[in-house]
A = this chain, B = another copy of it.
Amino acid sequence: MTRSFDQDLPAIEAAAVAYLTAFVRADIDAVMETYADDGVLMAPGIAAVAGKDNLRPTYVAVWQAVTFDMAYKIHEVLQTSEDWGLVRSSTEGTETNNATGEVTPAQYQELFAIRKSDDGKWRLARYCTCKIS
């Protein structure tokens, strides 16, 4: 019953990489472009944020508080159907508290559910990240 899909693995991985790199650049327009219109963020310290209208101010507030200098690793890319995929990644680096200037090491891990949009582009549909340390 299970069909295999792999033709879009590069595009699925690219969507996650586009997000992770735009996040570190604090590039709000680029981050928003990686999200589906109904995208949902699940992140530490914040109840789920759904939809671009809510995502945009959430990211702006996060970056006002903290500057991230993180490198990513992609651990797994799965295509689960013609139009859905999953990516697992981790990120490691430093966070700078913008109010105090304090720099602390930080590690996170990420699970992305990525969907092909009607325009053919793969975008973040559901995304959960948790802090390792």
Q: Is A43 positioned at the interface, with any CB of B under 8 Å from its CB?
A: yes
Contact between A47 and B128 (Cβ–Cβ < 8 Å)?
no
Provided the pairs A126-B88, A131-B130 are in contact, do residues A1 and B116 lie with their beta carbons within 8 angstroms?
Answer: yes
Report how many copies the assembly holds. 2
Q: Is A101 positioned at the interface, with any CB of B under 8 Å from its CB?
A: no
* A9 surroundings in chain B (CB, below 8 A): none
Contact between A75 and B48 (Cβ–Cβ < 8 Å)?
yes
Interface majority SS (helix, strand, loop, mixed), chain A: strand
Contact between A128 and B116 (Cβ–Cβ < 8 Å)?
no
Contact between B42 and A109 (Cβ–Cβ < 8 Å)?
yes
How many chain A residues touch B (CB < 8 A): the figure is: 37
* A111 surroundings in chain B (CB, below 8 A): 42, 111, 113, 126-128
Q: Which of B43, B107, B113 contacts A130 (CB 8 A)?
A: B43
Contact between B88 and A132 (Cβ–Cβ < 8 Å)?
no
Within 8 A of B (CB), among A107-125: 107, 109-111, 113, 115-116, 118
Q: Is A133 positioned at the interface, with any CB of B under 8 Å from its CB?
A: yes
